[in-house]
Amino acid sequence: MSVLASAALQQIEKIVASANFVTDPAALAPYEVDGWRPTAVARPYSPEETAEIVRVAAAEKLAVIASGARTKLGIGAPPSQYDLALDLTRLRRVIAYDPADLTLSVEAGIRVADLQKVLGEQGQFLPFASPFAKSCTVGGVLASNATGPLRHSYGTARDFTLGMEFVDGSGTRTKSGGRVVKNVAGMDLHKLMIGSLGTLGVITSANFKTFPLPQASGTFVISYLRLADALALRAALAASVLSPQVLDIVSPDAVPFLDSGSGQLPAERWSVIVAAGGDQRVVERHAADIEQMAAQTGADNFAALEEVARQGLWEAVRELPATLLATSKRVVFWKISSLPGSFAAVVSEVDRIARENSLRAATLIRAAGLVYAALLPTEVDPEDDPATMNRLQRAVAQLFARTADVGARAVIEWCPLELKRRVSVWGPPGEDAELMRRVKKVFDPQNILSPGRFVGGI
Amino acid sequence: MTPGSTLAIVASSECFHSMMDPTLIAELEQALGPANVFSKPEELLLYVYDGSVEHGRPDCVVFVRTTGDVVAVARFSNQRGVPIVGRGAGTGLSGGALARNGGVQIVFSRMNRILGIDFENQRAVVQPGVVNYELTRAVEHADLYYAPDPSSQKACTIGGNVAENAGGPHTLAYGVTTNHVLGLELVLPDGEVVRIGGKTPDTPGYDLTGLLVGSEGTLALITEITVKLLRKPEAVKTLLAVYDAVDDATETVAEITARGITPAACEMLDGWTLRAVEAYVHAGFPLDSAAVLLIEIEGLREATEAQALAVAEVCRANKAREVRVARDDRERELLWKGRKNAFGAVGRISPSYYVQDGVIPRSKLPATLRRVNEIGTKYGFEIGNIFHAGDGNLHPIILFDPRDHEQFKRAASAAHEIMEWCVSLGGSITGEHGVGMEKSEMMPALFSPADLDAMKRIRDAFNPAGLLNPGKMFPLGKGCGETRVRPLPVGTSAVS
């Protein structure tokens, strides 16, 4: 590191005070991103400190990667540079909460679980339901656009985030949107921040609209031998007036990762998992109608889960990526955006590619328009076998191409570092890549924020 | 509407002649066909106005039908340094489609084909000139509809809706335009065509579609829009709650919100406005009431029954003297006709009116309407209110005579005070109409110089020559004298 760069880090240490500045190698290990270890970690207390730090970093072109609970640092391409980790977990205040208006403003480093407790006391919640739920922070969820099963009815962060404050790549504090549920003043810069992996700015706070917790809910599991019949249930539900909160379909190979032995999901079956919420009679109506649709589509089984089983299953579904990552060091976890009409084709390609490359595939279809697919080595593969990596690499190329052929768009959310060094996790860039580069230049002209990790090499 | 905004057209007929060199006009005629290019004064006159109190002065009006046409106009603008301003049906309420600095008005009303409807996947791809309500009509046989429903939906275009991120009464439950637009085809100011987003969710990369929606025509011209369609609900219950005091109506809304009940729509009309409306629409609004709430519940039969009961209970607890439920579609449509045609009805009783678009937290609604009333009294106006009470989006209506300059100034001051109040409560200056020309000078009340600078840098990244819809959204920072023009005296012919 150059003298000037070291001097900059010393300046940053002064900004946060030594107690919040870490250089000990052992303590830096948790902040590694794809094999890159930063030189230091700074933990600011306020947006002002955050801005000052970024300003100093920009002056010496120190690359900064912000994080909260660090649960999703593995997403994206490896950084091209990484000097300073910016740990936002000390920014965790509830800035303003108006339960009567169902609006909220919080600092980005607050844990989602802690925030939900605060909201729960007022009978409200935020419908994130994304993985790593026990530890993840609001900022991390926004920056990675992490979503979960509730997106079927509540939408994603862009649908309930009202505004944001962030520090751009020059260290300037910037605000977009507002605090009320309806607002079109100015440009929606906060929409750009969502899913940007920290490449446009460091999110310091966000404003949301909150939602009432449903009074009652029910979860139903409907199982099928064939995917086509499970998809027929999805189509029937889409064509009906029912309004499920959640609608996921899991493959037989996904069952071992979702069913902690309590038997809610029959083995060797495709299971459609539907949740309904609201007033008790609404839940009963869903139960009755769905049971009928299940019979009409030739389901093997229809079950309405009891409370404890319901909670267990929902946690498992929500945490699927985390579970897969914990199970195998070589899982390649895909997020494939697809129209419902193409679900069958996408799954068929995934299965074919898995077979051709002697891999396992576990899939979870989210009816809103996503197929999550995990490609894993089969049990018999020794972990260090280089041939496995070659097969995964070949599968990656095939999956990008073949999903595009059926009108879907795939990205790799998680994969082994070795594979990231061989393939682009984002797939081929689209025609919008140049516009994205322009946007990046606007907010981070020095390219110091999370450089190299994003789409198109940004 | 603040001191810095353009007011009216100068009496002199010179400004109604195109200021554009005839050779440039000939170039446009060559590219688009002479039938699609207007440059005579009497042809330009209609495009001086939109739905707001602002005015523009285009030098030329062109009609486009294809992306190729739009590219030709963009290239022309880029090469000749001529400003271009997009326009749909001209129903906008903030001056967004007006040619503030002259130039070419590019009108999309003839680019109005529905390019494709994917019933299975509930998607539609439309050209920008498609009228909002026409899209719903095209899919209603399949029990689908396009949710964002501005009151002007029978005239306004989806392209315009996208530019302003338009709302409407049903956005309370279903969201605004940005929650329903998945992808766009853009023509950049230099003529380049780019597709962003798409039919499938979560396009990798930055949410450019989210940036473009609501960018008020300052970043790119939109030539194709991909939207999602919703399924029609099983049941709808429309309630009319009648009150003897405005406070009781506003307290009802605050309590419905606080209880976490989300109607599909929750609209309020005060007595003054509903009397004006009733004379014209005959919707059945009770003439002797102080205020009514029009509340719509949608969803499953079971859900609507439960919700309607809960809502009626809250209304009565807040002293509603009557809660009516529309008995059939006809009654329901009549109530909505009353609401959606209100501004037109008001137009019958005043030479002009000024509608605002402030937003406040729902919990502050009662205090806000009292304040609006106070402000009206202070400036000598009766201010009507007909608005989206359920999401705190106010539409105070100030009636004025544009020929009376002093009255106009007072109306502007009253409007300004209302906006200041909204901002002081942590609200917004615009819930759905957009900033445009009308509220640009108030942007610094909401955004710091750094915030505005960031938005300008984004605009400059897309629109580096500043030729696309100049003079919108950002404060001009000019004094009164530079941009305001005297109102038109009555009886003067604008065209010599």
Tell which CATH classification among 3.90.226.10, 3.30.465.10, 3.90.550.10, 3.40.50.920 matches the domain A99-212.
Answer: 3.30.465.10
Residue A329 pLDDT level (bands cut at 50, 70, 90): confident
Identify the domain boundary among B232, B264, B283.
B232
What does the pLDDT read at residue A383? Answer: 66
DSSP 8-state code for residue B51: S
Q: Which of B215, B102, B233, B232 is nearest to B160 (CA)?
A: B215
| Mean per-residue pLDDT, B387-405 | 91
What does the pLDDT read at residue B398? Answer: 92
Rounded to whole angstroms, the Cα distance separating B401 from B385 reads: 19
Statement: residue B15 has pLDDT above 70:
no
pLDDT tens digits for range A26-73: 999 999 999 999 999 999 999 999 999 999 999 999 999 999 999 999
Chain A, residues 233-252, CB within 8 A of chain B, namely 235, 238-243
Are B406 and B288 in a shared domain? Answer: yes
CATH code of the domain in which B250 resides: 3.40.462.10
Residue B87 pLDDT level (bands cut at 50, 70, 90): very high
Burial code of A61-73, b = ≥16 C-beta within 10 A, e = fewer? Answer: bbbbbbbbbbbbb
Kindly write down the DSSP assignment for every residue of B224-276, as one continuous string. Answer: EEEEE-EEPPSEEEEEEEEESSHHHHHHHHHHHHHTT---SEEEEEEHHHHHH
CB contact A159 to B (< 8 Å):
yes
Indicate whether B331 belongs to any domain: yes
CATH code of the domain in which B40 resides: 3.30.465.10
| Mean per-residue pLDDT, A341-368 | 97
Are B92 and B59 in a shared domain? Answer: yes
Which pTM was predicted?
0.95
Residues of B within 8 A of A339 (CB-CB) are: 118, 121, 123, 199-200
Statement: residue B390 has pLDDT above 50:
yes
Whether B461 and A441 have beta carbons less than 8 Å apart is answered as yes
Rounded to whole angstroms, the Cα distance separating A238 from B328 reads: 27
Q: From A237, which residue of chain B is nearest by alpha-carbon distance?
A: B231
Residue A151 has which token pair?
């997106």
Would you kindly state where each structural domain of chain A is located, as residue ranges? 3-89+445-457, 99-212, 216-317, 320-420
C-beta neighbour count of B371 within 10 angstroms: 18
CA B486 to chain CA mean position, Å: 26
Indicate whether B449 belongs to any domain: no
What does the pLDDT read at residue B480? Answer: 40
| Mean per-residue pLDDT, B302-318 | 95
CB contact A438 to B (< 8 Å):
yes
Q: Do B391 and A430 touch (CB under 8 A)?
A: no
Q: What is the residue range of B412's domain?
A: 235-424
Out of A177-191, A257-271, A442-456, least confident range: A257-271
What does the pLDDT read at residue B495? Answer: 32
What does the pLDDT read at residue B156? Answer: 98
Residue A305 pLDDT level (bands cut at 50, 70, 90): very high
Asked if CATH classification 1.10.10.10 holds for the domain at A3-89+445-457, the reply, yes or no, is no
Q: Do A175 and B215 touch (CB under 8 A)?
A: no
Are B213 and B274 in a shared domain? Answer: no
| Mean per-residue pLDDT, B354-371 | 94
What does the pLDDT read at residue B353? Answer: 85
Are B354 and B262 in a shared domain? Answer: yes
| Mean per-residue pLDDT, B115-142 | 98
Residue B379 has which token pair?
């400036």
Chain A, residues 372-401, CB within 8 A of chain B, namely none
Are B197 and B49 in a shared domain? Answer: yes
Are B179 and B41 in a shared domain? Answer: yes
Identify the domain boundary among B390, B424, B458.
B424
Chain A, residues 30-59, CB within 8 A of chain B, namely none
What does the pLDDT read at residue B13? Answer: 44
Rounded to whole angstroms, the Cα distance separating A382 from B418 reads: 71
Q: Which of B206, B302, B361 comes nearest A281 by C-beta?
A: B302
Residues of B within 8 A of A101 (CB-CB) are: 257, 361-364, 392
What does the pLDDT read at residue A279? Answer: 87
| Mean per-residue pLDDT, A369-375 | 97
Residue B483 pLDDT level (bands cut at 50, 70, 90): very low
Whether B129 and B114 have beta carbons less than 8 Å apart is answered as no
Top CATH class, A320-420? alpha beta
Q: Do B454 and A200 touch (CB under 8 A)?
A: no
- The alpha carbon dihedral of A346, A352, A356, A362 has a sign of positive
Are B332 and B283 in a shared domain? Answer: yes
Residue A382 pLDDT level (bands cut at 50, 70, 90): low
CB contact A145 to B (< 8 Å):
yes
What does the pLDDT read at residue B487? Answer: 33
Q: From B233, which residue of chain A is nearest by alpha-carbon distance?
A: A241
Identify the domain boundary among B232, B250, B278.
B232
What does the pLDDT read at residue B352? Answer: 83
Higher pLDDT pick, B334 / B76:
B76
| Mean per-residue pLDDT, B141-164 | 97
Residue A260 pLDDT level (bands cut at 50, 70, 90): low
Domain count for chain B: 2
| Mean per-residue pLDDT, A279-292 | 96
Indicate whether B332 belongs to any domain: yes
Chain A, residues 324-343, CB within 8 A of chain B, namely 335, 337-341
What does the pLDDT read at residue A262? Answer: 65
Indicate whether B269 belongs to any domain: yes
Same fold, A3-89+445-457 and A216-317: no
pLDDT tens digits for range A385-429: 888 889 999 999 999 999 999 999 999 999 999 999 999 999 999
Rg (chain A; Cα; Å): 23
Q: Which of B207, B435, B447 comes nearest A191 by C-beta?
A: B207
- The alpha carbon dihedral of B250, B254, B256, B257 has a sign of positive
Strands (E), B89-212: 104-107, 114-118, 123-126, 144-145, 181-187, 193-197
Q: Do A191 and B211 touch (CB under 8 A)?
A: yes
How many percent of chain B have pLDDT more than 70? 93
CB contact A81 to B (< 8 Å):
no
C-beta neighbour count of B201 within 10 angstroms: 20
Q: From B365, which residue of chain A is nearest by alpha-carbon distance?
A: A101
Statement: residue B220 has pLDDT above 70:
yes
Are B180 and B259 in a shared domain? Answer: no
What does the pLDDT read at residue A277? Answer: 93
Statement: residue B341 has pLDDT above 70:
yes
CB contact A344 to B (< 8 Å):
no
Indicate whether B454 belongs to any domain: no
Out of A116-120, A327-331, B218-222, least confident range: A327-331
Q: Name residue B302's beta-bridge partners.
A: none
C-beta neighbour count of B377 within 10 angstroms: 12
Angstroms from B14 CA to nearest CA on chain A: 35
Q: Which of A102, A426, A442 comes nearest B204 by C-beta?
A: A426
Are B225 and B239 in a shared domain? Answer: no
What value does the mean pLDDT of chain A take? Answer: 96
CA angle A192, B146, A209 (to 5 degrees): 45
The phi and psi torsions of A287 (rounded to 5 degrees) equal: -55, -50
Statement: residue B455 has pLDDT above 80:
yes
Top CATH class, A216-317? alpha beta
pLDDT tens digits for range B177-189: 999 999 999 999 9
Are B72 and B140 in a shared domain? Answer: yes
Are B225 and B251 in a shared domain? Answer: no
Q: Which of B179, B364, B446 comes nearest A155 by C-beta?
A: B179
Inter-chain Cβ pairs, chain A and chain B, closer than 8 A: 247
Are B108 and B132 in a shared domain? Answer: yes
